Amino acid sequence: MKKVILLIMLLLSGLFSNENRMLFYGNCISCHGEVRKPSAPHFAEIKGYYLLKYPTKEAFVEKMSKWVFRPNETTAQLPQAIEKYKLMPFLSIDLDTLEKIATYIYKNDDFGVVLQLK
């Protein structure tokens, strides 16, 4: 019985990480990935800055998800990015989903080349 429960938990954890990955790639990477004409800072830069300021998972996820939920120049963590790219537009994404995306970003570093515009 313990093995069955462990197997179910393992399978569910894989499903949730895949869901978070799909949410990230479906909502974020087209602007924050490596593209020929970037419209926003790359996620490697964003993650690096957030990790320096908010090294714990809880703080990282909270600060990133809440800011993306309500982008604001006053509370921006990367004001130089606003100067270069303008303020991130409001997205119709609920806070729970943004927390899943921020958790994925915290746990992963696979923000490489995903989209190449010709």
| Domain range annotation of the chain | 2-107
Position 13 scores a pLDDT of 47
Each of the 118 residues of the chain gets a pLDDT tens digit; together they read 665 554 444 444 444 458 888 888 888 887 887 767 778 998 888 999 999 999 999 999 999 999 999 999 999 988 999 999 999 999 999 999 999 999 999 998 876 543 333 3
Contact 17, 104 (CB under 8 A): yes
Name the strand (E) or helix (H) holding 3: helix 2-27
Which two three-digit tokens encode residue 68? 């993306």
Position 20 scores a pLDDT of 83
For the question of whether the overall pTM of this predicted structure is more than 0.85, the answer is no
33: left (phi over 0), alpha (psi -120 to 50) or beta: beta
The class (CATH top level) of 2-107 is mainly alpha
First to last CA, the chain: 54
Position 111 scores a pLDDT of 63
Position 5 scores a pLDDT of 54
